[in-house]
Amino acid sequence: MSESEPNPMDIDYVSNLARIELSEKEKEKFRGQLGDVLKYFEKLQEVDVEGVEPTAHAFPRYNVWDKDTAKKPFSVDLALQNAPKSRNEQILVPKVVED
Amino acid sequence: MKYEAVIGLEVHVQLETNSKMFTRVPCGYGKEPNSLTDAVVLGLPGALPVMNLEAIEKSIKVGLLLGCKIADTCKWDRKNYFYPDMPKNYQISQFDQPICEGGEVEIEMPGDSPAVMGKHRIVQLTRIHLEEDVGKLTHFENDSLVDYNRAGSPLLEIVSEPDLFSPEETFAYLTSLRNSLIYTGISSCDMEKGQLRCDANISIRPVGTEKLGTKVELKNLNTISGVKNGVEYEIKRQIKAMEQGEEIFQETRRWNPEQRYTTPMRSKEMAHDYRYFPDPDLMPVKIEQEWIDKIRNEIPEKPFDKQRRYMDELNLPYSITSALCPDLKLCEYFEEANKLAKNPRKIGNWVVNDLLRELSAGSKDETKSISLNDCPIPPKHLAELVELIENGSVSNNVAKELFPEMFSTGKSPSTLVKEKGLEVKSDEGEIESHCAQAIQDDPDAAEKFKAGKEGAINALKGKVMKATRGQANPKVVDEILRRLLSN
Amino acid sequence: MSSSALVEKTAFDLSHLLANKEVSSVEIAQACLSQIDRVDEQVHAFLHRDDQDFLAQARASDERREKGNSLGPLDGIPVALKDVISVKGQPLTAASKILQNYISPYDATVTKKLKDAGAVIGGRLNLDEFAMGSSTENSAYGPTRNPWDLNCVPGGSSGGSSAAVAAREAPLTLGSDTGGSIRQPASLCGVVGMKPTYGMVSRYGLAAFASSLDQIGPFSKTVEDTALLLEIISGHDPLDSTSFPTEIPSYSSAINQSLKPCVLGLPKEYFGEGMDDEVRNAVNLAVEFYRNQGHEIVEVSLPTTDLAVPVYYVIATAEASSNLARYDGIRYTTRSDRAQNAIDVYAKSRGEGFGEEVKRRCILGAYGLSSGYYDAYYLRAQKTRTLIREDFNRVFKEVDAILTPTAPTPAFKFGEKSDDPISMYLSDIYTISTNLAGLPAISVPCGFTKGNLPIGLQLIGRAFEESSLLSIAHAYDREHKFGCVTPSLVKE
Ligand SMILES: [Mg+2]
Ligand SMILES: [Zn+2]
């Protein structure tokens, strides 16, 4: 990607990646707004981060884990209580087109 | 032009743990749908993951057995893609810092006959990483159902280099890998239960060239033979396409085991833009050398190493070791019996022939054997039986008859011998009268022996054994016959 | 005691009244309910009420107290929660259409701690959808209004939580702060709001916006009340791997010990352009107060300040794009009835269920992580985040707390910034850095504009030193108590 001129975002590709359907009007609006935001982000490209470690956690620690002791799961009813559709104790989804 | 195939395998193995990878809900198979969930498994708002220590230890164990470099630190990344079997629409996995790197799997190709050891070769591994499993989708005519019981179970992904060159090698690799994994006790690797699943990356290239061809990812290889057949079909398909001047596309294809062909899966144009990034909900894992050393002490001997040791140290023939060594439990059984009887060849024979036969015949389910854990003959009974034969207390024939009864009753061989009055008879008076009768009945044999034909005595022995229903002590019979015939 | 007098009390005072049996928990609960009845049609701080359950909890508290089994200072005191914190059996919408039918099957850790302390948990408070915004205009269920001026926003995203305290609908509330979402609305509504150190309060049960930045924190009229609530909700939680294992002292007793002279830093980058003059004057008066109390005031520099907003928006949107992927119309969220196949369920349910700002941020976040852009955006932002943390570490070698305004301006009018994302993003300019550095920070009301809009003072402390930060804040608040001034609009 070019340092001087930010890449315009391919809104069709990214909205599809994010699985969010947008109307044409929304696409038009977002193209402009997100273009401005990306231009504003360009500031970041000027920072000297040579040799700087990325921060994933403000206060990093290691080995935060739990012993392998099983606890009581949700009842099936509780697991499905918010399901938009279900059948035979399972979540029903429209046909999944061949994987 | 001749083509060769280049194959790399991605094997997913479910780790056997009490609870899931990132929450303490029980793992299980065959339970009521959606009965093994909680907020974390379902990806509810606010749910957070917590690592399962046991899964990490088991992964290190596998890595050590396979000779991998265990990472100093590894971390968790999110692999983002949408699919109904994945509750959060991201899978917690390891992207650029897997728990194990490198490693190798020794494979054996079939020998010229079952009695002869085949060629061995080392297949290189790329990496092993730990991740969480997805739920299970069942497809119907018009819709699909999702069960999240499996979702979140710890899953190990073992990735090989493109270092396999035929369906047979692929089969051998998977067999060897599976044996090793079962050895470590991390999983039963039952493919029917989905505990071991396999994807293959397959390409072809003209023999003698180095450059890899366009690779096709083959999915749904869910049985060991399915892997062999699927890979075989796909190689043929690619060669045929190449020969007909068709282009081979980089794509994902699915093996259809019933119809036995591969079909392209709906192309997912963005399938590979997974937007990996470090999971902010989880802290990294630091693996100290001390910890590795501790786990190293628990690593079992590798199957092929054990096999070589049995052949070298115990002088066992290949045919016995090749039946024993893929199964750690069977080896343990063998070793325990041998410790008492100190007769590896005899014990080995009984185990791989008689014991295995009884185990499979005794099972109600024809496709399965009784597990060694439930074996009614404990190793010490087998050791006792071999000792009884060796010291002449029972004959081989009697032993062969006794064995199924030991299996069905669980009684020790000496108990059965006593109960059934099968003790070897060493009463010389009685045996001598049978011997005399035998000489009288078969004067030919007697004459031939007297004339120097050593082998002729066997006919007489046979008669005595028959008359005593095999209970006469063969040593005593031999002595008396020789005495009578020398007169 | 009259209902209107009760709702003006601090939690601290209510606790004493309860202990002395001068009032019952049911009376307090009823006072809150009648205040909500009276003002919430205008303020719209609440998305959901369950009055029966609320009163039942209050009754249970009174019964406990009657038997001498009181669970502590919070027993019987109402606490209302931002609608991103799970309460078993209660709705959780995150102010989004996509969660309109969702009932939480489990309690957040803070909820459990509040229940264990006997607090009376009532109502679900409005916010910007999924906590994305600075004005509460992004709620799918309509905006919350600022109790000081109904034409102005209450700030956001925890606008319902700040407005509910300001409008005297609840003595205590909880919000969540990802880039200022507690402190900025506290400032705009004239109440105290605090973001604890990252890891002090469990996030388990908080619908995530940006996991590496989110923290739950209290709203109240006074710093003293915030200390009281914070000591209940803080503490290590094995269910949150980012929760920090540390002992929680009694903040409410710590703040009443005499404060030793401190060094307070004023970052010069925060006092430059873009700050409203009335805000500047009010903050300067607070600085004078501290100086007069014998504390040392020094100028400090945080040179990475102008990078905080872009770093924040890259990181927060990236994490959000992944965190919000679970709202997909499959298991518990609303499913689009236009969906023909599984792929449709995602795109259509999310297209219909999410509001504009959420869509904008999810798309921006997905872009920053996508193939070819990760290094330039997400990774680079994470590295720059390190520089921002280092800036603070350096400054905290010299000072005990950093003093800044909370927001550059007082409450602004509805619609003023809603179509200009960047100017909206800049309203968090003073609060965002502390989330990136993980530090605790508190907003304390420090006066009013001529137009009678509240102004907030922000104090930023050292990591995990909540006691010290609260003590410094209390030294000011004890003498001023601007948060105890009730807006005339909601006064009887
Ligand atoms: Mg893979
Ligand atoms: Zn995998």
Whether A59 maps to a domain, the answer reads no
Percent helix, percent strand, percent coil in chain B, to nearest 5: 40, 20, 40
Q: Looking at residue B51, what is its pLDDT?
A: 98
Give the DSSP H or E segment for B255: strand B252-256
Strand B51-52 relative to strand A65-66, pairing: parallel
Whether the CB-CB separation of B402 and B449 falls below 8 Å is answered with no
CA distances from C22 to B401, C16, C194 (A): 93, 8, 30
Tell me if residue B198 falls in helix, strand or coil.
Answer: strand
* Position B376 pLDDT exceeds 90: yes
Band (B258; pLDDT cuts 50, 70, 90): confident
Q: Do C86 and B45 touch (CB under 8 A)?
A: yes
CATH 1.10.10.410 for domain B428-486, yes or no, is yes
- Which residue reads 């509780």 in tokens? A78
Contacts of A58 in chain C (CB under 8 A): 198-199, 212, 389, 436-438, 463
DSSP H helices in C149-213: 159-166, 183-189
Cα C426 to the center of its chain, rounded Å: 18
- Predicted confidence at residue B224, as pLDDT, reads 84
Distance CA C114, CA C133 (A): 27
Q: Does the structure show a pLDDT above 80 at C242? A: yes
CA distances for B114 relative to B18, B166, B307, B320, B323, angstroms:
40, 20, 15, 10, 10
How many residues does the structure list for chain C? 492
Q: Which two tokens stand for residue C243?
A: 């929760």
What number is the average pLDDT over the span B338-347?
96
Query: What's the pLDDT tens digit per position in C383-424?
Result: 999 999 999 999 999 999 999 999 999 999 999 988 788 878
Query: In the prediction, which pLDDT does A2 show?
Result: 37
Mean pLDDT for chain B overall: 92
Say how far residue B228 (Cα) sits from the centre of its chain.
17
pTM of the model: 0.92
User: Given a cut of 50, is residue A67 above it in pLDDT?
Assistant: yes
Residues C183 and C455: their CA atoms lie apart, in Å, by: 11
| pLDDT tops 80 at residue B366 | no
- Residue corresponding to tokens 């890998």: B177
User: What residue spans of B391-427 are helical by DSSP H?
Assistant: 396-409, 413-419
Cα–Cα distances in angstroms (integers) from residue B426 to residues B239, B431, B434, B436, B470, in the given order:
73, 7, 12, 16, 12
Return the pLDDT at B270.
47
Check CB contact of B36 with chain A, cutoff 8 Å: yes
Q: Is the pLDDT of residue B267 over 80?
A: no
Q: Which of C203, C322, C379 to mutate to test the interface with B (most CBs of B within 10 A)?
A: C322
Question: What would the mean pLDDT of A14-19 be, rounded to a whole number?
Answer: 95
pLDDT of residue B268: 52
Nearest residue, CB atoms, A59 vs list C199, C421, C422: C199
Phi-psi sector, C285: left (phi>0), alpha (psi -120 to 50), beta? alpha
State whether the Cα torsion B387-B388-B393-B394 is positive or negative: negative
Catalytic residue, from C82, C112, C221, C417: name it: C82
Cβ-count burial of B438 within 10 angstroms (0-12 exposed, 13-18 middle, 19+ buried)?
buried
Which residues in chain A have their CB less than 8 angstroms from residue B33's CB?
A: 76, 88-90
- When computed from its CA atoms, the radius of gyration of chain A, rounded to whole angstroms, is 23
To the nearest whole Å, the CA of C389 is away from the closest chain A CA by 8
- Phi, psi (deg, nearest 5) at residue B353: -95, -70
Decide which of C109 and B364 is more confident: C109
* Window from B411-425, C135-149, C207-221 with minimum mean pLDDT: B411-425
Tell me: pLDDT of C212 over 60: yes
Quote the CA–CA distance of C37 and C144 in Å, as a whole number. Answer: 15
**Is B75's pLDDT higher than 80?**
yes
Q: Is residue A16 part of a domain?
A: yes
d(CA B34, CA B438): 76
Query: How far, in Å, from the CA of B137 to the mean position of ligand 1?
Result: 19
Contacts of A66 in chain C (CB under 8 A): 238
Which CATH code is given to the segment(s) C3-265+397-490? 3.90.1300.10
**Average pLDDT of A23-48?**
93
CA distance B418 to B420: 5
Give kind and range of the element (H or E) at residue C356. Answer: helix C356-369
Domain range annotation of chain C: 3-265+397-490
Q: Which residue of C has its CA nearest to A53?
A: C383
How far does B84 lie from chain A, in Å, by closest CA? 8
pLDDT of residue C483: 98
CB atoms near residue C180 (< 10 Å): 32
Inspect the interface and report whether the beta carbons of A55 and C382 lie closer than 8 Å. yes
Cα-based torsion angle of the residue sequence C400, C406, C409, C413 in order, rounded to the nearest 10 degrees: -170
Compute the distance between CA of residue B221 and CA of residue A17 in angstroms, rounded to an integer: 28
Shortest distance between the Cα of A97 and any Cα of chain C, in A, equals: 7
Q: Is the dihedral of CA B123, B126, B128, B131 positive or negative?
A: negative
pLDDT tier for residue C375 given thresholds of 50, 70 and 90: very high
Do B406 and B375 meet the contact criterion of CB atoms below 8 Å apart? no
Q: What is the DSSP string of C221-261?
A: SSHHHHHHHHHHHBS--TT-TT--------HHHHTTSPPPP
pLDDT tens digits, B301-318: 999 999 999 999 999 999
Task: Look at residue A2 and tell me if it is in a domain.
Answer: no
Burial class (CB in 10 A: 0-12, 13-18, 19+), B376: middle
Tell me the two tokens of residue B251.
Answer: 């794509």
B266 falls in which pLDDT band (50, 70, 90)?
Answer: low
Give CA–CA dist B319/B361, Å, rounded. 21
**What pLDDT is stored for residue B288 in this prediction?**
97
pLDDT band at B401 (very low <50, low <70, confident <90, very high): confident
Question: Would you call B216 helix, strand, or coil by DSSP?
Answer: strand
Contact residues, chain C, for A97 at CB < 8 Å: 341-343
Q: Quick check: B385 pLDDT over 80?
A: yes
Q: Which of C181, C187, C243, C427 is catalytic?
A: C181
Whether A3 shows a pLDDT value over 80: the answer reads no
Residue ranges covered by each domain of chain B:
3-293, 301-419, 428-486
Per-residue pLDDT tens digits for C259-276: 999 999 999 999 988 899
Q: What is the ipTM of this complex?
A: 0.96
pLDDT at residue C203 above 80?
yes
Could you tell me if residue A17 is inside a domain?
yes
Decide if A24 is inside a domain: yes
Residue A77 maps to a domain:
no
pLDDT at B40 (0 to 100): 98
pLDDT digit string, tens, across residues C135-188: 999 999 999 999 999 999 999 999 999 999 999 999 999 999 999 999 999 999
Sheet with C120-125, edge to edge strand ranges: C46-48, C120-125, C78-82, C172-177, C215-220, C192-195, C441-448, C454-461, C401-405, C263-267, C296-300
Closest residue in chain B to residue A59, using alpha carbons only: B283
Degrees, nearest 5: CA angle C149-C10-C197: 85
Which residues form the domain of A38? 11-46
Q: Which residues of C74-102 are buried (b: 16+ CB within 10 A; e: fewer)?
A: bbbbbbbbbbbbbbeebbbbbbbbbbeeb
C-alpha distances in Å from residue A44, one per residue of A3, B123, B477, C212, C304? 10, 45, 100, 19, 11
Task: Tell me which residue of B294, B278, B287 sits closest to B99, measured CA to CA.
Answer: B287
Q: Does residue C82 have an active-site annotation?
A: yes
Q: Give me the mean pLDDT over the B129-145 stretch.
A: 95
Domain count, chain A: 1
Residue A5, pLDDT above cutoff 60:
no
Mean pLDDT of B100-109: 98
How does DSSP classify residue C138? T
Evaluate whether B160 touches B105 at the Cβ level (below 8 Å).
Answer: yes
pLDDT at A99 over 70: no
Q: What is the CATH number of the domain that holds A20?
A: 1.10.20
Rounded to 10°, the helix A24-41/C356-369 angle is: 50
Q: Between the CA of residue C290 and those of C77, C117, C262, C403, what are the distances in Å?
A: 32, 35, 9, 10
pLDDT band at B427; cut points 50, 70, 90: confident
Q: Which of A71-85, B10-24, B119-133, B448-462 has the lowest mean pLDDT?
A: B448-462
What percent of chain B has a predicted confidence (pLDDT) above 90? Answer: 73
What is the structure's pLDDT at C332? Answer: 98
